[in-house]
Amino acid sequence: MTVLETTATDTTDTAATVEFRGLRREFGTTVALDGLDLTVRPGELLALLGPSGCGKTTALRMLAGFEHPDAGEVLVDGEDVTRVPAHRRDAGMVFQSYSLFPHLSALDNVAFGLRMRKVRTAERRSRAGELLDLVGLADKGDRYPHQLSGGQQQRVALARALALRPRVLLLDEPLSALDAKVRLTLREEIRRLQQELGITTLFVTHDQEEALSMADRVAVMHAGRLEQCAAPVELYGRPATAFVAEFVGTMSRIPGRLDGTTVEVLGRRLPVDGTAPAGDEVDVLLRPEAVGVRPDDAGDARVVASAFLGAATRLTVRLADGTEVKADLPTHEAATLGAGTAVTVSLPERPVLVAPRTTR
Amino acid sequence: MAGLNPGRAARRPALWRPLVLVCAGLYFLVPLAASVIFTVDVPGEGVTFDAYTQILGTEGFVSSLLLSLELAAATIAVVLLLMVPAMVALRLGAPRLRPVVEVVCSLPLVVPPIAFVAGLGTVLKWGPEHLSRTPLFQTFVAIQNPDFPVVLVLAYVVMALPFVYRALDAGLRAMDVRTLVEAARSCGANWPQALVRAVLPNLRGALLNSAFLTLALVLGEFTVAQLLGFRPFAVWIVNVSGSQAQLSVAVSVLSLLVTWAMLLALASFGGRARTASASRG
């Protein structure tokens, strides 16, 4: 564990700040990055989240030095690295999958970077061994990549990325090729290592659960732009834009009428959270856990579907005007609400988010 | 044929297998056996190995074989130095150009060697006439030096392109070149290091295949060398067959065995290198 301690002290003192300034990149006619501004604080794990094609991977690859911006700059600790070639960027990277060198054993894979730096063989091997120990694979050093499971390969890749004590750790969807169980354990392990080493980390993912559970802050990207960058709780509770609201978590839209700073929805008048959009025809955005549903023979809403999620059951309810709302209920309560049951839908007395109307 | 098991033949579903094996074996072995018998069975003298013992002493054998091997080595070196970086660059930088390169590399299969050498001969004649007053004249003389005809290397490089392209393409297809290069680069390797340390070791099989196909091509090539007036191994065999029929057949049999031996050597070298690297880790 000596490597852990030395690396930890090395990096907490020197944890780097990363800044993207006005990054722009076009591939032919598609705009991958359309003026991205983002700052990663020292020692934090920042997740870049977004649908495929939103430019998150392009941004990561620009920090790694594999892509070059048409305009804008990348700064590490205030120093412009835009023109620095990839092998001098001092960034460790873990790829989606199959990135280990097939002709080298796990130990030699981890030692590859040290070999490039001309570190002596004995020192190289002992350090690679310590790193393998760090990711829990001390006994697998002589295995070749094809003899390791997917999860083990990604652990080796992580050890390899950390071998040169990089200032920044880049993770490009490292868990997406793994099965669900391995993904969960490796997720926790990456987070633990990252916190112990205190290394500034950029994590690209399209899986919102992964982003919300691991990251200090999540940057949601859409069409080459940053939509919102905030802590997971804030992102979920107070999404800045309609895109973030619907991309992160589940969100239902119900038409409402805006009246000053209040909105009329489902027969109630509720205050608006944040700034209200122009126009009085709006959609109210609702999380499924905020929607109450109870059986009511006189109700004009109908349950159309239910999905068992374990402790909770997600009901899809069709309102009188045809709008569908999703609601999470404790499973024991939802047991009596089969498809076709007449119900009423209620909202808590809390400010709600509104967005310009898009439904019908 | 030794592996043929009569017990298996009795089982009905597998009946066609030994049959095919016997047919194929006859097809290959009968001419070979006939050649061997022709070289060792001299009428009136009984069985003798004189034809084989004479080979080494025959004028031109060693020099022509050495010339062929040198040409093969030079051709392998040139074609690999040309094709490996080109194919990797193609994969990484311009994947859409691949069909173009594939067609260009396959052209030597379409153009018969006889047409190829006719064109080559025309240029070699035309060049010195028009360039006699320029330093290029010396170049034309130098590449036709009979001790080491560079022009043959150039011709063989072109003729080996289809085989080398196919072998390397198969090797590159089997791995994710882009990710390996990027992984190496993020580990602090510059471009040449990434190529040599991360890509080439995983291409070893493809490189050996290319080298062997090129070697076989150069050792057996007759048309171009003969028509340009050089005397490597294949040309020497044909020349010798006019005067000493038995000897030339003996040499053919021997060259076949030598080629097999080289194939085995290359294959076992590849296999040993793999296990050696496995035990090193």
Residue of B nearest to A88 (CA): B188
Taking an 8 Å cut-off on Cβ atoms, the answer to whether A101 and B278 are in contact is no
As separate numbers, helices (DSSP H) first and strands (DSSP E) second, chain B gives 14, 2
Nearest-angstrom CA–CA distance, B231 and B65 = 9
CB pairs under 8 A between A and B: 81
Helix axes B61-93, B204-220, angle to 10 degrees: 140
Disruptive mutation site among A93, A101, A125, A154 for chain B (greatest number of B CBs within 10 Å): A101
Taking an 8 Å cut-off on Cβ atoms, the answer to whether A98 and B179 are in contact is yes
Residue A136 near residue A148, CB atoms below 8 Å: no
The whole-angstrom distance between B74's CA and the closest CA on chain A is 28
The whole-angstrom distance between A54's CA and the closest CA on chain B is 21
Residue A16 near residue A78, CB atoms below 8 Å: no
On chain B, the residues whose CB falls within 8 A of the CB of A170 are 186
Disruptive mutation site among B178, B186, B200 for chain A (greatest number of A CBs within 10 Å): B186
Torsion of CA B12, B18, B22, B25, to 10 degrees: 160
On chain B, the residues whose CB falls within 8 A of the CB of A98 are 176, 179
Q: Which residues of B touch A (CB under 8 A)?
A: 175-176, 179-180, 182-190, 193-194, 197-198, 201-202, 204, 277-278, 281
Q: For the purposes of burial, counting CB atoms within 10 Å of the CB of B227, is it exposed (0-12), middle (13-18) or buried (19 or more)?
A: middle
Nearest-angstrom CA–CA distance, A191 and A194 = 5
Q: Which among A87, A117, A157 has the least Cβ separation from residue B185?
A: A87
Q: What is the ipTM of this complex?
A: 0.81
**β-pairing verdict for A312-318 and A301-308:** antiparallel
Which residues touch B242 (CB under 8 Å, ≥6 apart)?
A: none
Helix axes B61-93, B177-186, angle to 10 degrees: 80
Residue B185 near residue A164, CB atoms below 8 Å: no
Residue of A nearest to B278 (CA): A105
**Residue ranges per structural domain of chain B:** 70-230
On chain B, the residues whose CB falls within 8 A of the CB of A106 are 281
Strand partners, A235: none
Nearest-angstrom CA–CA distance, B239 and A82 = 66
**In a structure prediction context, what are the per-residue pLDDT tens digits for chain A, which is 360 residues long?**
444 444 444 444 568 999 999 999 998 888 899 999 999 999 999 999 999 888 999 999 999 999 999 999 999 998 999 999 999 988 999 998 879 999 999 999 999 999 998 889 999 999 999 999 999 999 999 999 999 999 999 999 999 999 989 999 999 999 988 888 899 999 999 999 999 999 999 999 998 889 999 999 999 999 999 999 999 999 988 888 888 988 888 888 888 888 888 888 888 888 888 777 777 788 888 889 888 888 888 888 899 998 988 888 999 999 988 889 999 999 888 888 888 888 998 888 888 888 888 755
Nearest-angstrom CA–CA distance, B257 and B268 = 16
The whole-angstrom distance between A309's CA and the closest CA on chain B is 38
Nearest-angstrom CA–CA distance, B142 and B152 = 12
Strand partners, A342: A302
3-state secondary structure at position A37: strand
Taking an 8 Å cut-off on Cβ atoms, the answer to whether A164 and B185 are in contact is no
Residue of B32, B30, B28, B52 lying closest to B40 (CA atoms): B52
pLDDT tens-digit map of B131-164: 777 777 777 777 887 788 888 999 999 999 999 9
The whole-angstrom distance between B249's CA and the closest CA on chain A is 44
CATH number 1.10.150.80 given to B70-230: no
Residue B278: C-alpha distances to residues A108, A142, A144 (Å): 11, 8, 8
**Domains of chain A, start order:** 2-242 (3.40.50.300), 251-356 (2.40.50.140)
Residue of A nearest to B178 (CA): A99
Taking an 8 Å cut-off on Cβ atoms, the answer to whether A116 and B187 are in contact is yes
Taking an 8 Å cut-off on Cβ atoms, the answer to whether A101 and B202 are in contact is yes
**β-pairing verdict for A200-205 and A45-49:** parallel
Largest CA distance in chain B: 78
Which residues touch A176 (CB under 8 Å, ≥6 apart)?
A: A96, A97, A205, A206, A207
